[in-house]
């Protein structure tokens, strides 16, 4: 069969869930009590004295089976109102088919009316005259009947009508004593027994009896246990998932001014959680296991403020919903609120960060849908330029290399004369070449070193070939030896420093990164041929350096560290050294001053030296550079002195002073003799 025909067949096949037949046992033993007590007096809060409370009642096995099967059908009709059909059969001394595959008979109202006409089982009827086999035989015959949708597909296919598959499922609710073999269907047998009794039938997991028959057995207590089991089965059979809406504000009936938060669980198609499964964010969405421990529910939080239906949101999907507990007050209030034309946004519960609104509840045409909102960048926006990068985050794509990659892998028509001796088709050879070229191909410049080096180009172009010649191996080995020579000469490498501070990794670390990446590239092709393996062995041999080479590299690293420290801390070290020298000089000067004071105060101390008078402005010379280290204070004082002396004429008294003393009014002394 050619691929086109196979694709047509797949589109016209019906899944097992297209037809579901319920076979409910109506024999006398189904009238037995389930022994689960139902309190009838729970609503009475205050009871007058002397009033005898109402005795609790218990439902029969038949009532439990009918209620739970109707809940199964209700969920199915809510989510799949058109293409999923149910046929309901009651079996006692004969079978009773309550509805057909026609679309107008597919509703819970039709089934409830038919069940009311059947009535409860008669406990006084002879059990030997009743058998569930009557209903099972009728169920198999019902599966053989064609539905309206199948008839439409067969009419469209005309001569290929046999390609429309006929599949179905039978769910049998009975009080079984032993298993029976049924062919050509998916058989789910649910054994119902009263509470307080031991079951005679054990659970059996789903087992493929034949290519067209699978069978499973569930043994369940009547009452809430049966309701939970069928709730799980309807999710498994129709690929449903559960979402729990939390923190729904709702006013209390007793206190109108107060409100409390409630939770409502909804069932829908599992594709509504597809984004969670793709991104792996189920823990962010609040996945939790329910009481039964078999099915999980995704928790979403009621988002305030609410939104009106007139607002437009970018939705990627819309799925019908059905409340798990349809009769509860929170479920009723939520559905009425949505059916009145309101919409509710739902957010993922997060402990920190901004809120992420992922879903929305809204009604259309009297039906409630769970809408999946796109929380990522919308595809309706203008796509980012390739120079900007995806989302504006990455800007260094290997655009030129990718263009060369596309040119090397172009597809062209091939004539029949060009036959490959290996017998591979041209399409297979093209796929194999594309696979070899993409085994290791970094997309970003900053993520690669070897593809930024011109010296590695010969090896990178040859290693992706399907087979290598001896000349190709020699070329690759020559490239490796050139890289070894570059490392010996300590040549720089084109290492990207994007996102890192400083000058990036050391030279030795750069070559280690380069060798690791080169070895990764060659390893992806080493298993192709022995000659590819030779290239890898050459790289490994060149990477294992002799001891003297390692010692030389270690000395080179130490020298680089010293140079880097000198370059980085050069000015700082100079200032520190000058400061230390100035402090040392200052200490020596202070010590000399103290000694000079001691000598001056002693009786044998000589006369102090006469200081030379200060020269005029023209004669002022810059201070001589002191021998040895000079303090920062001395350097600054000398500089200020020289600068000030150039700005004004020196005071005559200071120039003519003797020992910094100048006698005033000398002319008067000369006149008076």
pLDDT for 654 equals: 78
| Burial of 53 per CB tally in 10 Å (0-12, 13-18, 19+) | exposed
Contact 385, 391 (CB under 8 A): no
How many whole angstroms separate alpha carbon 277 and alpha carbon 395? 29
Contact 347, 358 (CB under 8 A): yes
Lowest-pLDDT choice from 271-285, 353-367, 517-531: 271-285
Q: Residue 613: pLDDT above 70? A: no
How many whole angstroms separate alpha carbon 234 and alpha carbon 242? 11
Cα dihedral sign, 337-342-346-352: negative
How many whole angstroms separate alpha carbon 543 and alpha carbon 511? 10
Strand partners, 307: 343
DSSP conformation class of 56 = P
Give me the phi and psi of 329, to 5 degrees please. -65, -45
Between the alpha carbon of residue 340 and those of residues 293, 334, 581, the distances in Å are: 35, 10, 88
How many whole angstroms separate alpha carbon 173 and alpha carbon 90? 10
Query: Which pLDDT band, with edges at 50, 70 and 90, does 255 fall under?
Result: low
| Burial of 555 per CB tally in 10 Å (0-12, 13-18, 19+) | exposed
Give me the phi and psi of 646, to 5 degrees please. -85, -10
Q: What is the pLDDT of residues 346-381, one digit of tens each?
A: 888 776 666 778 888 888 888 899 998 877 655 555
Query: Which pLDDT band, with edges at 50, 70 and 90, does 112 fall under?
Result: very high
pLDDT for 615 equals: 46
Mean pLDDT of 124-137: 84
Q: Residue 100: pLDDT above 70? A: yes
Lowest-pLDDT choice from 32-36, 390-394, 628-632: 390-394
| Burial of 156 per CB tally in 10 Å (0-12, 13-18, 19+) | exposed
pLDDT for 183 equals: 39
Show the beta-strand stretches assigned E in 365-514: 367-373
Query: Which pLDDT band, with edges at 50, 70 and 90, does 90 fall under?
Result: very high
Which range in 156-165, 251-260, 441-450 is most confidently predicted, on average pLDDT? 441-450
Strand partners, 215: 187, 207
pLDDT for 85 equals: 92
* More confident of the two residues 211 and 616: 211
Mean pLDDT of 516-530: 88
Q: Residue 585: pLDDT above 90? A: no
Which range in 4-8, 133-137, 416-420 is most confidently predicted, on average pLDDT? 133-137
Angle at 425 between CA 420 and CA 428, to 5 degrees: 115
Q: What is the pLDDT of residues 140-198, one digit of tens each?
A: 899 888 888 888 888 876 655 566 778 889 999 887 654 443 435 678 888 888 888 88
Query: Which pLDDT band, with edges at 50, 70 and 90, does 283 fall under?
Result: very low
DSSP conformation class of 272 = G
DSSP conformation class of 40 = S
**Which tokens sit at 455?**
């010296």
Angle at 535 between CA 534 and CA 538, to 5 degrees: 85
Cα dihedral sign, 226-232-237-241: positive
pLDDT for 109 equals: 92
Percentage of residues in the chain having pLDDT higher than 70: 69
Where helices occur in 602-673 by DSSP H, the ranges are 632-645, 652-655, 666-671
Q: In terms of DSSP bridges, do strands 19-25 and 169-174 run parallel, antiparallel, or are they unpaired?
A: parallel
- Return all residues near 662 (Cβ < 8 A) that are at least 6 apart: 653, 654, 656
How many whole angstroms separate alpha carbon 361 and alpha carbon 248? 13
DSSP conformation class of 661 = B
Domains of the chain plus CATH, in order, are 10-38+56-238 (3.40.50.410), 240-373 (2.40.290), 397-405+424-498+505-547 (no CATH)
Q: What is the pLDDT of residues 558-568, one digit of tens each?
A: 666 666 665 55
Angle at 284 between CA 280 and CA 290, to 5 degrees: 95
Query: Which pLDDT band, with edges at 50, 70 and 90, does 8 fall under?
Result: very low
User: How many C-beta atoms surround the C-beta of residue 377 within 10 A?
Assistant: 12
pLDDT for 618 equals: 43
Rg (the chain; Cα; Å): 47
pLDDT for 344 equals: 87
**Which tokens sit at 275?**
């984004």
Lowest-pLDDT choice from 38-42, 433-437, 575-579: 575-579
Q: What is the pLDDT of residues 540-584, one digit of tens each?
A: 888 766 555 556 666 666 666 666 665 555 545 555 555 555 556
Q: Residue 22: pLDDT above 90? A: yes
Contact 235, 227 (CB under 8 A): no
Q: What is the pLDDT of residues 228-252, one digit of tens each?
A: 888 888 888 888 888 998 888 877 6
Between the alpha carbon of residue 572 and those of residues 563, 566, 578, the distances in Å are: 14, 10, 10
How many whole angstroms separate alpha carbon 382 and alpha carbon 379? 8
Mean pLDDT of 619-647: 72
Q: In terms of DSSP bridges, do strands 287-289 and 240-251 run parallel, antiparallel, or are they unpaired?
A: unpaired
Contact 533, 526 (CB under 8 A): yes
How many whole angstroms separate alpha carbon 91 and alpha carbon 89? 7
User: How many C-beta atoms surround the C-beta of residue 139 within 10 A?
Assistant: 27
Which range in 257-261, 326-330, 537-541, 620-624 is most confidently predicted, on average pLDDT? 537-541
User: Torsion over CA of 74, 79, 83 and 86, rounded to 10 degrees?
Assistant: -20
Q: How long a stretch of residues is the chain?
A: 673
Q: Residue 528: pLDDT above 80? A: yes
Q: What is the pLDDT of residues 651-667, one digit of tens each?
A: 777 777 888 788 887 77
Query: Which pLDDT band, with edges at 50, 70 and 90, does 21 fall under?
Result: very high
**Which tokens sit at 582?**
């100035």
pLDDT for 608 equals: 47
Pick from 107, 109, 23: which is nearest to 65 by CA?
Answer: 23
Query: Which pLDDT band, with edges at 50, 70 and 90, does 89 fall under?
Result: very high
| Burial of 64 per CB tally in 10 Å (0-12, 13-18, 19+) | buried
What string of H, E and C letters represents the secondary structure of 290-348?
A: CCCCCCEEEEEEECCCCEECCCCCCEEEEEECEECCCCCHHHHHHHHHHHCCEEEEEEE
Between the alpha carbon of residue 524 and those of residues 402, 449, 512, the distances in Å are: 20, 17, 19
User: Torsion over CA of 249, 250, 255 and 258, rounded to 10 degrees?
Assistant: 10
- The helix/strand/coil state of 171 is strand
- Return all residues near 108 (Cβ < 8 A) that are at least 6 apart: 70, 73, 74, 77
Q: Residue 309: pLDDT above 70? A: no
Please confirm whether the linkage preceding 305 is cis (ω < 30° from 0): yes
How many whole angstroms separate alpha carbon 106 and alpha carbon 86? 7
Q: Residue 481: pLDDT above 80? A: yes
CA atoms within 13 A on the CB side of 368: 23
């Amino acid at each position: 069969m050619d691929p086109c025909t196979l694709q047509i067949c797949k589109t016209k096949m019906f899944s097992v869930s297209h037809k579901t037949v319920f076979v409910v046992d109506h024999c006398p033993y189904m009238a037995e009590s389930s022994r689960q007590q139902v309190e009838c007096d729970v609503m009475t809060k205050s009871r007058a004295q002397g009033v005898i409370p109402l005795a609790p009642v218990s439902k029969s096995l038949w009532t439990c089976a009918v209620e739970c099967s109707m809940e199964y059908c209700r969920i199915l009709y809510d989510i799949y109102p058109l293409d999923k059909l149910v046929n309901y059969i009651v079996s006692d001394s004969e079978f009773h088919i309550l509805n057909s595959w026609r679309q107008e008979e597919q509703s819970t109202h039709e089934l409830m009316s038919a069940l009311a006409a059947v009535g409860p089982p008669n406990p006084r009827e002879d059990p030997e005259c009743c058998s569930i086999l009557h209903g099972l035989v009728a169920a198999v015959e019902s599966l053989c009947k064609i539905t309206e949708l199948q008839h439409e597909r067969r009419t469209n296919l005309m001569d290929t009508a046999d390609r429309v598959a006929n599949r179905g499922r039978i769910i049998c609710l009975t009080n079984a004593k032993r298993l029976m073999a049924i062919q050509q269907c998916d058989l789910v047998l649910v054994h119902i027994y009263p509470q307080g009794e031991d079951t005679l039938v054990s659970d059996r997991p789903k087992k493929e009896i034949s290519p067209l028959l699978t069978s499973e057995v569930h043994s369940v207590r009547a009452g809430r246990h049966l309701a939970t089991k069928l709730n799980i089965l309807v999710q498994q059979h129709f690929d449903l998932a559960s979402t729990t809406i939390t923190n729904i504000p709702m006013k209390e009936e007793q206190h109108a001014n107060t409100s409390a938060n409630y939770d409502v669980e909804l069932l829908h198609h599992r594709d509504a959680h597809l984004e969670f499964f793709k991104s792996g964010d189920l823990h962010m969405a609040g996945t939790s296991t329910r009481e039964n421990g078999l099915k999980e529910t995704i928790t979403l939080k009621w988002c305030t403020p609410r939104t009106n239906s007139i607002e437009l949101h970018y939705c990627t999907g819309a799925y019908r919903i059905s409340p798990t507990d349809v009769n509860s007050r929170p479920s009723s209030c939520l559905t009425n609120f949505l059916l009145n034309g309101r919409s509710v946004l739902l957010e993922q519960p997060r402990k920190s960060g901004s809120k992420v609104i992922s879903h929305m509840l809204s009604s259309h045409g009297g039906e409630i849908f769970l809408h999946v909102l796109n929380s990522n960048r919308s595809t309706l926006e203008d796509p980012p330029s390739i120079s900007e990068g995806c989302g504006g985050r990455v800007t260094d794509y290997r655009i030129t290399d990718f263009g060369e990659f596309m040119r090397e892998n172009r597809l062209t028509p091939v004539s029949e004369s060009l036959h490959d001796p290996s017998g591979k088709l041209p399409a297979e050879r093209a796929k194999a070449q594309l696979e070899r070229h993409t085994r290791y191909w970094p997309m970003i410049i900053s993520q690669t070193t070897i593809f930024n080096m011109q010296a590695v180009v010969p090896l990178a172009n040859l290693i992706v070939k399907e087979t290598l010649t001896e000349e190709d191996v020699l070329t690759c080995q020559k490239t490796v030896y050139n890289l070894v020579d570059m490392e010996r000469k300590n040549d720089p490498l084109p290492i990207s420093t994007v996102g890192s501070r400083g000058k990036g990794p050391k030279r030795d670390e750069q070559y280690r990164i380069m060798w690791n990446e080169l070895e990764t590239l060659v390893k992806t092709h080493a298993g192709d041929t022995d000659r590819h393996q030779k290239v890898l062995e050459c790289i490994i041999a060149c990477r294992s350096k002799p001891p003297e080479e390692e010692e030389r590299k270690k000395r080179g690293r130490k020298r680089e560290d010293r140079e880097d420290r000198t370059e980085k801390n050069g000015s700082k070290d100079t200032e520190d050294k000058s400061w230390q020298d100035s402090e040392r000089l200052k200490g020596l000067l202070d010590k000399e001053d103290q000694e000079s004071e001691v000598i001056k105060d002693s009786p044998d101390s000589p006369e102090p030296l006469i200081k030379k008078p200060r020269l005029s402005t023209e004669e002022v010379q810059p201070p001589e550079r002191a021998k040895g280290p000079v303090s920062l204070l001395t350097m600054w004082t000398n500089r200020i002195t020289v600068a000030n002396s150039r700005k004004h004429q020196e005071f005559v008294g200071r120039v003519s002073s003797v020992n910094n003393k100048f006698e005033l009014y000398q002319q008067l002394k000369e006149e008076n003799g």
